[in-house]
Amino acid sequence: MTSSTNEWALDLSKVTKRFGATVALDNASFRVRRGAVHALLGENGAGKSTTVKLLSGLMQPDAGSISIMGRNVSMRGPKDAHRAGVQTAFQEMTLVRDLTVAQNLLMAYEPTGWFGRIKKRESQRQAAEWLDRLELGDIRPGAYIRDLALPVRQKIEIAKALVRQPEVLLLDEPTSALSGRDVAWLARRIEEMKARGVTFVFITHRMQEVREFCDSLTVYRNGRDVGAFDTAAISDDEVIRLVIGRSMDAKYPPKVATPAALQTPAMEARGIKVDGVVNDFDLTLKAGEVHGIAALQGMGQREIFEALFGAEFIDEGQILIDGKPVTLTSTADSLKAGVSTSFLPEDRKTEGLFLRLPGGENVSLPVIKRFSRFGLIDRKREQAAIKRALAQMEVNPRAVYKPCLSFSGGNQQKIAMAKWLLTQSRVWLMFDPTRGIDVGTKHQIFVLMRAFAAAGGSVLFYSTDVPELVNVCDRVSVVYRGRNVAELAGEALTEENVMRKMLSS
């Protein structure tokens, strides 16, 4: 189809970007029509985030050209991108934790008076006005970012880009931390902006969202564009084949039932109360099972996982391991031989990894004492164990010595999981482990979870994606206001039943 240059809001042509020996983008091209919502798809490390950074002015291409609204541009920094009409809502949020919502929302655009002094009262007024306009009126402009839950911070990140009224808006995994209601909120914002002629680049790993939001899509693989299509013209299976370079027999691994005789309680919670958020919570996690937790945002699920790992004190109740009460005064207690519990948190960058340390050091850190004798670390034995764990997660061997921040989000999650593989824990607490990662890596994590359960391990799995819970778990507990209000298994474990219990409890 031939079309005029002015028809394209974005046009990247034969763009290359290298980081040392690593080629992040290799002669990649993609373009987006004005006023369209265009999905950019690919596995973690395919080049999507590098493309977003190029369009945001955070880095420059080594070769190729970028055109915005028909004009060739050379962006040397974020201000150049802003002047070109481009704003970005990043997956790994750019909010400053120790500043308020208002300060983050209007950063670099706050009203000023004499000598450049910020008019704080006017900033508060403008922020409150914008929050109301964006259906976020329940968020206080004076609240500190550090005190807000992750889904709320994600909405503030998106709102910050909307406040600047862009011509082109880049949404990098905008729904990765959002609940169903929050996704509906985002859908309304996209419709509003699209009606005004705003163009979107929408990066996601969820095909349901591509179908719901996007008019067209481009697939990246290994830094190259491998196909561009109208969304209606390609099937999900074909997209997955393009993304991972092969067909996938099944999105979810089969559930293999563990014999009833082996299903002894590995971990139990009895009448747990935590800080007024968790109330009389009961749970029995059996050996050989993947047990799901389904809950709407803010129902105490995070506090439950942290209490079971010793990261949150319980006010009342008991935690039992193999039928024996245990007292968890810290996370270190969870790693002891008699407890042997691992926790994969929702925010890998701030809670799961030390980003500036090499992947190898992150992997061995929880069990570094295993490799030390008389205060000296046996590096040869440590390195061999690290390499085995990384190989099991299919992480590039350079992760042994490369800082975690140099890897994509999906590979960072794999490094975080490799850390717990090395601990050889008996119980895995996995809090939204597939947030913001590609379909191939998700499948790999699901296979690992089922294999761990088949070997006699126990997995407690929370996900914001109900289909994941239904298709991966043996049982699902629905949590409402810190209580286990329903348990579903067998034929009763359906998406409809889980959603009904979540909404009607």
Give all domains of the chain, ordered by start, each with its CATH number. 5-244 (3.40.50.300), 249-340+425-505 (3.40.50.300), 351-424 (no CATH)
> What would the pLDDT profile of 34-73 be if each residue is shown by its tens digit?
999 999 998 877 889 899 999 999 999 999 999 999 999 9
Residue 2 confidence class, pLDDT cut points 50, 70, 90: very low
Give CA–CA dist 90/201, Å, rounded.
Answer: 12
Answer for the pair 107, 164: CB distance below 8 angstroms, yes or no.
no
233: left (phi over 0), alpha (psi -120 to 50) or beta: alpha
Average pLDDT of 215-231?
93
SS (H, E, C) 116-182: HCECHHHHHHHHHHHHHHCCCCCCCCCCEHHHCCHHHHHHHHHHHHHHCCCCEEEEECCCCCCCHHH
Residues in contact with 463: Cβ distance below 8 Å, sequence separation at least 6, in sequence order: 292, 294, 432, 433, 434, 469
The average confidence (pLDDT) of the chain is 89
Residue 1 confidence class, pLDDT cut points 50, 70, 90: very low
CA-to-CA dists, residue 467 to 124, 234, 480, 481, angstroms: 41, 22, 19, 22
Answer for the pair 414, 393: CB distance below 8 angstroms, yes or no.
yes
Answer for the pair 39, 204: CB distance below 8 angstroms, yes or no.
yes
pLDDT at 246: 62
Q: How many CB atoms lie within 10 A of CB 230?
A: 11
- Residue 266 confidence (pLDDT) above 50: yes
Give CA–CA dist 216/232, Å, rounded.
Answer: 8
Q: How many CB atoms lie within 10 A of CB 246?
A: 10
More confident position, 92 or 208: 208
- Residue 433 confidence (pLDDT) above 50: yes
Give CA–CA dist 186/192, Å, rounded.
Answer: 10
Average pLDDT of 348-374?
89
Give CA–CA dist 173/203, Å, rounded.
Answer: 5
Give CA–CA dist 158/132, Å, rounded.
Answer: 14
AA identity, residue 391: A
CA-to-CA dists, residue 14 to 79, 181, 284, 348, angstroms: 24, 39, 55, 33
- Residue 428 confidence (pLDDT) above 50: yes
Give CA–CA dist 415/165, Å, rounded.
Answer: 37
According to DSSP, the residues that pair with 33 across neighbouring strands are 8
Give CA–CA dist 490/488, Å, rounded.
Answer: 7
Would the CA dihedral through 299, 300, 305, 308 be positive or negative?
Answer: negative
Residue 505 confidence class, pLDDT cut points 50, 70, 90: low
Helix (H) or strand (E) holding 29: strand 22-33
Would the CA dihedral through 400, 405, 410, 415 be positive or negative?
Answer: positive
415: left (phi over 0), alpha (psi -120 to 50) or beta: alpha
> What is the Cβ-side half-sphere exposure of residue 485, based on CA atoms within 13 angstroms?
23
Residue 175 confidence class, pLDDT cut points 50, 70, 90: confident
AA identity, residue 187: A
What tokens appear for 124 in the block?
A: 């508060």
- Coil vs helix vs strand at 99: coil
Helix (H) or strand (E) holding 93: none
Instruction: Report if pTM > 0.85.
Output: no
Q: Are strands 324-326 and 316-321 parallel, antiparallel or unpaired?
A: antiparallel
Q: In what order do the strands lie in the sheet with 290-294?
A: 341-344, 427-431, 458-462, 290-294, 475-480, 483-489
pLDDT at 162: 95
> What would the pLDDT profile of 403-419 be if each residue is shown by its tens digit?
998 887 788 889 999 99
Choice among 248-262, 301-315, 468-482 with the minimum mean pLDDT: 248-262
According to DSSP, the residues that pair with 218 across neighbouring strands are 40, 228
pLDDT at 408: 79
> What would the pLDDT profile of 450-461 be if each residue is shown by its tens digit?
999 998 899 999
Answer for the pair 298, 502: CB distance below 8 angstroms, yes or no.
no
Give CA–CA dist 178/175, Å, rounded.
Answer: 5
Would the CA dihedral through 443, 449, 451, 453 be positive or negative?
Answer: negative
Residue 207 confidence class, pLDDT cut points 50, 70, 90: confident
Q: Which residues of 53-75 are buried (b: 16+ CB within 10 A; e: fewer)?
A: bbbbbeeebeebebbbbeeebeb
Chain centroid, CA 134 distance in Å: 23
Give pairs for 368-376: CB < 8 Å, separation 24+. Answer: none
Give CA–CA dist 36/199, Å, rounded.
Answer: 5
Measured between its terminal Cα atoms, the distance across the chain in Å is: 53
Q: Are strands 458-462 and 427-431 parallel, antiparallel or unpaired?
A: parallel
- Residue 302 confidence (pLDDT) above 80: yes
What tokens appear for 186 in the block?
A: 């985002």
Choice among 332-341, 354-363, 428-437 with the minimum mean pLDDT: 332-341
Give CA–CA dist 225/41, Å, rounded.
Answer: 10
> What would the pLDDT profile of 85-142 be if each residue is shown by its tens digit?
999 998 767 899 999 999 999 998 888 888 888 888 999 999 999 999 999 999 999 9
Residue whose tokens read 């047990």: 291
Residue 269 confidence class, pLDDT cut points 50, 70, 90: very high
